[in-house]
Chain A
Amino acid sequence: MAALEALLCDRNASGELVAPAAPWLERVKDDYDRSIGVTSLQVRLGMRVLIVLLEWLPLCVLGRAIRMSRLSLNDRVHYFEALEGHRFALLTMLLVATKIPMLVSAFESGDALKLTGYDRPTTSARRRLPVARAGKAEPAEPKESTT
């Protein structure tokens, strides 16, 4: 949860970091848990190891003997940014391998989907296509189907 909070936080109008809304965070966490729940023992163990490493690596990356989940939101963001651009590729790989599965559902619906600029109501909605007028030679009005 602490990791998700940092990955999804944003700045407010005055430039301060703000944690994502709790319902959004809960939904993303639940989705991630459900996804992990359908995987094999191998993947579950692998993800667990990644999370444990993420939790304890501030010692190596920030030089501070503190767990990731105890860092302030600012420091957590700083920590993940340091991991993402770290000169040791394995540390970067560790972050990315955790981040992508965690965030797959984050921008899938609601306001987060709108933020991506996607112009359909849901990610499973069909594209709005112009409907051609039967038997008319002139260009069709850009009438839109509602499928």
Chain B
Amino acid sequence: MKGILSDAPIVHGRELPHGFRHACDVVVVGSGASGMTVATILAEAGHDVLILEEGPYHRPEDIGRFEPSTSLRRLFREAGMVAAVGVGQTPLISLTLGRAVGGSSLLTGGVCFRIPSAVHHGWVHEQGLHEISERSLEAAYEAVEKRLAVREVPESMRSESSNRFVLGAERLGYTMRSLRRNTGDDCEGNGRCNFGCPAGAKRSVDVSYLPDFVAHGGRVVSDALVEQVIVKNGRAAGVRGRLLGGKFGAPSHEFEVEARTVVVCTGTLHTPQLLRSIGLRSYGLGRFITLHPAARVVARFPDRIDGWNGALQSCYSDDLESEGILFNAVYTAVNVIAAGLPGIGPALHERARQIPNLAMFGAMVHDEAGGYVTTGIGREPTLVYEMAPKDLLRLKKGMRVLAEMALEAGAEEVVLPIFGMPAITSRAQALAMERDPIDARRIECLAFHPLGSARMANDARSGTVDTNGECFDAPGLYVADGSIFPTSIGVNSQVPIMAMATRLAWRLSERLA
């Protein structure tokens, strides 16, 4: 095998005529929020860093022009069709995962939260993880938020869809606050951040970090699937894999990268696969996965509100945070809304015509660990998830409160994400929904924040990685993605993941120096 046959900083692996062998200081597997963060910080510190990304690379300006279905095919893992296999009374849960240079940061609504104090308190006082206290992450948060140009969404950018729920919330005594997002001052309110920003305002990591990474000599190879970590003398010594996207039927080209440090950032579902490739069987590896299952409630108002005009996500309420429920403003592309509406044929058309009158809001549950990943039929892992009864109650309460908000604001009917359930028109019906037993498999959920399959711990008996992100059983092998979170955090996870990755990268840089 030869070296990488390209001088470009961003190499399209599918276009390479043959595989390659490469040597560098650090190889980072995965280019999402965590991988890009670690790689950029290390490159800026003078280390020779290579990122290997399984998905393709698309320029930000191209992504902004994608129709939603194109985004689904090119940026989303499994074209947006990843779902958890539910066990028992578990809703149908679809997962949004990125698979492109930039990872899932390309697909967020731009929401930026920090980890709530109560979660840090639990990590420190219940699990003894003093090194990831709230204070210890402060500098990392500041560095991340500066780079992402995090700003509070002005009220003027709220869509009418959000405003209706804000009105209902106020009438019911709930407080709505403005979200902080990574759009700087450039958001135009195009209302489709999760499929790519037409204005180029969203600072996903391909916009906020990649240029600096490349400017400091870092290189990315896209379409490069890492299948195995190489171990020599008991230490991680590199990775090997194959290039994807070549001609149909042609053998795939293999590659091998030698590096004294390997950082795995492939996300909660895929990281365990890679760690298992070298026989790691640490406590909890691939288990205790949390998802933040969320339900989207849709309300029809008598007047036209054109909910697509405004920031996709602009406000939230954490009034029920102590109960594990967070309310978040949401919207999405109209064709995606239409596809998810109930009804067949004429009934679906009728619902689609009502889209200008629809408002929506989401309820997200701070769930208990109920999932694990196992090897699937092909190369993709299978996520099995069993929702805790308590989480199901939280989900139903969240839907009930949102339905009440909408009705209080004047909605004519509220469509809950419960298959086969007629739209509700009164608060009594909303209460009945919460009280009555429902087959949970009728509930349609979305999940955006899988966390916790390779947990951080103080010793090998209780986790996979130490507080520096290094695997207990494989020196030189680090994990820096959401899989290392010791518990669910109850808020959108991009900035917390990036802050953790920043802290780990700083430490790693010191060690490598």
- Spell out A's residues near B (CB within 8 Å): 6-11, 17, 31, 34-36, 38-43, 45, 47, 77, 80-81, 84-86, 89-90, 92-93, 96-97, 99-109, 112-113, 115-120, 122-127, 129
Contact = CB atoms under 8 A, between A and B. Distances in A.
A9 B439 CA distance: 30
26 contacts: A6-B345, A7-B345, A9-B345, A9-B346, A10-B349, A35-B72, A35-B80, A38-B79, A40-B379, A42-B377, A89-B442, A96-B92, A96-B419, A97-B83, A101-B81, A105-B69, A108-B333, A108-B335, A116-B356, A118-B308, A118-B356, A123-B67, A123-B192, A124-B66, A129-B188, A129-B189
Contacts of B347: 81
Interface residues of B, number: 60
Nearest to A7: B344
A17 B345 contact: yes
A129 B163 CA distance: 19
Given A6-B344, A90-B441, A103-B338, 18 more contacts: A10-B345, A10-B349, A31-B69, A34-B73, A43-B81, A77-B346, A84-B342, A86-B420, A97-B83, A103-B339, A108-B68, A117-B355, A117-B356, A118-B308, A124-B198, A127-B188, A127-B309, A129-B189
A16 to B, nearest CB: 10
B346 A17 contact: yes
Interface of B: 64-69, 72-73, 78-83, 92, 188-192, 195-196, 198-199, 304, 306, 308-309, 333-340, 342-349, 352-353, 355-356, 376-380, 382, 419-420, 439, 441-442, 444
Contact of A89 (B190, B348, B439): B439
Nearest to B342: A84
Of the candidates B188, B349, B353, the one having the most CB atoms from chain A within 10 angstroms of its own CB is: B349
B92 A116 contact: no
A118 B192 CA distance: 13
A42 B68 CA distance: 23
Given A92-B419, A93-B419, A108-B67, A116 B334 contact: yes
B378 A104 contact: no
Contacts of B338: 103, 106-107, 116
Contact of A7 (B348, B355, B441): B348
A77 B349 CA distance: 13
A84 B418 CA distance: 11
Nearest to A44: B378
A119 B68 contact: no
Contact of A45 (B189, B346, B377, B420): B377
A10 B353 CA distance: 12
A105 B335 contact: yes
Given A115-B349, A115-B353, A39 B339 contact: no
A89 B336 CA distance: 23
Nearest to A19: B345
B81 A116 contact: no
Nearest to A73: B345
A104 B348 contact: no
Nearest to B69: A105
Of the candidates B195, B196, B340, B345, the one having the most CB atoms from chain A within 10 angstroms of its own CB is: B345
A124 B377 CA distance: 36
Contacts of B79: 35-36, 38-39, 43, 101
Contacts of A112: 335
A107 B66 CA distance: 15
A47 B377 CA distance: 14
A84 B444 CA distance: 13
B73 A35 contact: yes
A124 B308 contact: no
